[in-house]
Amino acid sequence: MTRHFTAAAPLRCLVACIVAGALAVAGCSAGTGPQPHGGGSAQVALKFQVKGDAGGHGKPKTLTCDPAGGNQPAAATACSVLLKLKKNPFAPIAKEMNCPMLLRSNKKILVTGTWFGATVHRLVVDGGCDIALFDSLNKIGLTS
């Protein structure tokens, strides 16, 4: 008995392998990173201490998310803003990152606590690679 192979057989195998690989990657990434309200118990508990300019004179602000709480005014709104940020906004800046050497003020925000199980201890400055993160924290009223 002789088998005849068509050109479609290797192509079908290739397509099946690509689909299987894509499904495996999608399955591995499912459920990772922050999940906004209703996606399980979010483990966000942060303390913010503002330093520089007029900041640093008040007591630190605290914020917990899902459920929203802490002494941060409008905690629910603050959580909404923070949960829309990238996967780990408080991760250290990569050493190979090129940052602009620009400081807009001498304000700094020391952020400590936990972000979805990861320990946070990060100084966010008003400039350089932190500009976008500082602006996001400013939107929730930390520097005012």
pLDDT, tens digit (0-9, with 9 covering 90-100), for 46-103: 999 988 765 555 688 899 987 888 888 888 998 888 888 878 888 888 888 888 888 8
CATH tag, 44-139: 3.30.350
Residue type, 19: V
The ranges assigned to domains in the chain are: 44-139
Question: Distance between CA 133 and CA 143 in Å, rounded?
Answer: 12
Task: State pTM to two decimals.
Answer: 0.65
pLDDT, tens digit (0-9, with 9 covering 90-100), for 28-39: 333 344 444 444
* Mean pLDDT on 98-126: 89
- Residue 115's φ and ψ, nearest 5 degrees, are -130, 100
Query: What letter does residue 57 receive in the DSSP assignment?
Result: S
Q: 105: which strand partners? A: none
